[in-house]
Structure 1
């Protein structure tokens, strides 16, 4: 999910991108498509910028129980396995990483040191070696110190084939290979606790050494790969149930599929944290309510629901009720996110290029968007990159208008009626869009079989190379706003493995792979237009997906739940500055 840029050793390196102004609702009219506003992303190398405490939120008070509503449970809580934004947002409350984006809500993004005193030192000045020094006073939930060796161990366990669902940037860079765990497979079964290319000096210094320049390392270090894990607390795949806390909260109780309860970590020191607060006493996440139930409960704001926020978007049926009441509308969080929703085509199964092109012509984006709630929830998309990506170029390889061109699709099919299995995450919002996809594709002559998949295992399922599906939705955002974290993870066939894939279309085209390898070695300013060209080439030559919409977030909070904001990096609400009123 993000961006690639040159990094200086001192000062701040700024890069301007067209990001959306995403913050709490101000009461202004949001009935039209989200306006874009230039935003600034920078790396703060002055250690003062990475030290806490975080700037106080005006009017914030301490205390109370914050309630969170989501239809299904998180896929993973283990930070090394976590790569889905709902859980990544929750992770920020109890997990810390080497670096982190500071989001002020005014459009400024700054990468700061989280566990580290700065976002890293480019030791040789050529991005081949990065050194991080941990802050003083860092402690786990039991009061024991967080060490550089624990960070190294966290990186080490991310090499394990059994924990392969998370991001793989750092692993691939260290191994200098897309087959990053072909030799070193992590600390299990006798493997070293520190991976090749990583060295630890004392309790506070960790160094990453790469065969090639990796100027994105400060950004990649903000992902869960660098979360510290004490070896004595590691339970392998069972760590998903009880990660050991390094942030302001810790897990008190977790009932899979039902609820998650967080309470304060008394050993977290706000003086070490430039980003987070611990305003509320407790967080209770409830899994099960549909998007309709969530919205109705938060609109009413009775009892605990007054202190609640919802994860699923407000459904189309309730948007008029939310936007038509000024008092409710003020509690809405809305804005264009960095995500693009694609209909991924499993090219292992759908091998005919004309069939894939026909799918692009056939899909009714307008109906899909309407099923989500109209323009408040997104914009039709035809490119792989989001408009928020540096260097984004708008194009349409298969011009079919907002509602598709069934006649053109039929022409490409040449009288054939391909039978395709469409898998979707089985939550209420996706049930509605599944019907839209089925209807629009069948108008063009396809036969579509709907296959609901358990939401808590959806990405694990479609990320398995031998999955039995032809079509499925992938919604993806850059890990930093550059094509290097969009096109590279989604379409590099060299990264395909048995499980944990991000190349959900399973495209493995040598010319695409080669161009990706070339561009990832370049700085963002140079590579941005070339990523856009590659975006267009992939769609024109191979049609491995159908871009559907650039998504917007439309969620609601209760009357006593304050300062829920939309993250410009995650594209989902974040909670470390939330406070509650009486």
Structure 2
């Protein structure tokens, strides 16, 4: 059985929320938190100012790709489990939500059993049962409801060929022996299954209210708020669900009476509005916009603004990917030469400086939850090791240098755009490596790099974990059984090593994430010797809140504010 140390009584959660006024791990809280009292935090309207739709564009839980309880969607949809809502490293843990614990494993982690809490109700007052959760998971397989997490089809027994419940077919690997019990049968051991059950696909959906693709127009809430209106990519208004209370939900404070989201805003506009905090913007946060270097410079000289700047981290690595099927990257000496030649300081500078990024030499982020194990097999220092790079190039038959092409996105949104590409180009030049830059349209870049037949030999990309363990960070990139030839492939090197695949299987049998961590770190270190990627940076997030927002911190699971925990005047 795997139960989370984050099992919280309501009083314990409220005490933890009050403690958020001090730094925890890599997070720090905003001004005003010292006066925060979870017992009296009720009332007001919270405003969310975002570049993109905070609901991931859709309000159907089957179509939302998020885990841990997405920032805004977690206000509408409760799931079997959720993330532990506290700052610092403890926020990387799984906590029970609709379920009484984080799951009981049996059959070598191939079977997981959950029991529901008492008193759970939808927004219309009808009880939530295990059958509602089963229906919610099954409908996520329907081809007319695309966009959710990919793990269900791969992990659940019979999932590969299942097409959803709308034609009367059930998924036999999900069993509901009574209204309070749900059992999942997996086709292989998965110790991380409690992390997957934080996804919105594990939110209850009442079959009687489900009209397929039209469900997102009026989704039925199981969380503290229900939807009043939603205009995709433009706005969202949430109001209180009268059948929710903290007595049945010890994972959300839900202080504001109302939430209003505005989407499609420019990042500079968002930060300017938060900085000014005029009118309604004093009660505002953003869940997707970081401060720019120029804005950071202003904040550092203004004590009042500095109090409202919140710092945190999310498990992400920005890196150079190699396709060894393309010459000259089939030669490991060329890949190693490029690894030695990279001057990471220039990349850090391109990403906004040391306040917003730190150099990376490991693929796993440097956080304990991932099993981070430090290594640096190709030490380049801050500015690159040109001598070693030239030596390796000569051994590979390129004594006079080498010309390569670096593909990148034509926008700088994810550190895989022109700024970082130009920094890499300048850095490699010092080692005699001429880099021709090849930009791709932002919208089509993913299609190009995620299909083996069109994948470039060398390109910039980024990877962030769906939950904070080593599995979802390493497996999509290095497990040979996850290579997808027709698109959606993230295993750029197309590595299919039986020993590596076997180690993934062995670690997946471990149901205690703490015990699994050293194995993930060792696997990362072993793969790193092959120079299949060049880790460049791990980003740092710094965001601003309105002046009336209290108890704001960036959780390490997603690197974002949690609207379920903040309050406003």
Q: TM-score band (shorter)?
A: 0.7 to 0.9
Contact 2:120 2:128 in 1 (8 A): yes
Determine the C-alpha separation between the residues in 2 that align with 1:367 and 1:24. 30
Contact 2:3–2:102 (Cα < 8 Å) also in 1: no
Tell which deviates more after alignment, 526-535 or 157-166. Answer: 157-166
- Deviation string 1:428-451 (CA, Å, 9 cap, x unpaired) is 975644543454456631211122
Corresponding residue of 2:230: 254
User: For the aligned residues, what is the CA RMSD?
Assistant: 3.7
The corresponding residue for 1:421 is: 407
CA deviation map 1:366-424 (0-9, x unaligned)? 22222333222232111111221354211112221223345655653724422242136
Q: What secondary structure does 2:368 align onto? A: coil
8 Å CA contact retained: 1:362, 1:441: yes
Residue aligned with 2:313, SS: strand
Change beyond 3 A, Cα 1:361–1:473: same
Q: Which runs of 5+ in 2 are unaligned?
A: 9-23
Tell me if structure 2 keeps the 8 A contact 1:336–1:553: yes
Task: Name 2:551's counterpart in structure 1.
Answer: 563
Q: 2:464 & 2:316 partners in 1: Cα distance?
A: 5
Q: Is 1:70 paired with 2:51?
A: yes
Deviations 1:178-221 (CA, angstroms, capped at 9, x unpaired)? xx743333335x3623x232101233221123455544333332
| Residue matched to 2:272 | 296
Cα distance per residue 1:101-154 (max 9 Å; x no partner): 2323375446332111222334x5854433222223323334443221221122
Distance in 2 (alpha carbons) for counterparts of 1:11 and 1:250: 26
1:34 — aligned with what?
A: none
Quote how far apart the aligned CAs of 1:521 are: 2.0
Aligned to 2:258: 282
Residue 516 (str. 1) matches residue 499 (str. 2): no
Q: 1:315 to 1:143 in 2, by over 3 A?
A: same
Please give the alpha-carbon distance, in whole angstroms, between the structure 1 residues aligned to 2:120 and 2:145. Answer: 26
Shift of 1:532: 1.9
- Structure 1, unmatched stretches of 5+, are 1-5, 14-18, 28-54
The Cα of 1:89 is off from its aligned counterpart by 1.8
Question: Within 2, Cα distance between the matches of 1:466 and 1:87?
Answer: 35
Q: CA deviation at 1:333?
A: 0.8
TM-score w.r.t. structure 1 length? Answer: 0.80
The answer for the alignment partner of 2:529 in structure 1 is 540
Distance 1:507 1:253 in 2: 46
Distance in 2, matches of 1:485 and 1:100, equals 17
* CA distance in structure 1 between the aligned counterparts of 2:256 and 2:62, rounded to whole angstroms: 26
Of Structure 1 and Structure 2, the greater strand share is in: 1
- Give the Cα–Cα distance (whole angstroms) in 2 for the partners of residues 517 and 275 of structure 1: 32
For the Cα contact (< 8 Å) 2:138–2:165, is it kept in 1?
yes
Give the superposition deviation at 1:97: 0.6
How is 1:235-384 mapped onto 2 (pairs within 5 angstroms)? 243-310=219-286, 311-346=288-323, 352-354=330-332, 355-384=334-363
1:95-244 correspondence runs (5 A): 95-105=77-87, 108-109=90-91, 111-122=94-105, 124=106, 127-160=109-142, 165-175=147-157, 181-188=159-166, 190=167, 192-193=169-170, 195-210=171-186, 212-234=188-210, 243-244=219-220
CA spacing shift, 1:540–1:106, aligned 2, 3 Å? closer
Q: Shift of residue 349 of structure 1?
A: 5.4
Which deviates the most, 93-102 or 237-246?
A: 237-246
TM-superposed CA distance for 1:536, in Å, is: 1.9
- Alpha-carbon distance between aligned partners in 2 of 1:251 and 1:99, rounded to the nearest angstrom: 22
Shift of 1:556: 0.3
Given that 1:291 and 1:428 are in contact with CA atoms closer than 8 Å, whether structure 2 keeps it comes out as no
Larger radius of gyration, structure 1 or 2? 2
Residues 125 and 511 of structure 1: is their aligned pair in 2 closer, same or farther, counting only changes over 3 Å? closer
Check 1:331–1:506 CA distance in 2 against 1; reply closer, same or farther (3 A cut): farther
Q: Distance in 2 between matches of 1:467 and 1:73?
A: 32
8 Å contact from structure 2 (residues 321, 461) kept in 1: yes
Worse overlay, 160-169 or 516-525:
160-169
CA drift at 1:331: 0.5
Cα distance in 1 for partners of 2:319, 2:175 equals 40
What residue is the counterpart of 1:7 in the other structure?
A: 2
- Secondary structure of residue in 2 paired with 1:376: coil
**Superposition TM-score, scaled by structure 2 size:** 0.81
Structure 2 residue aligned with 1:447: 436
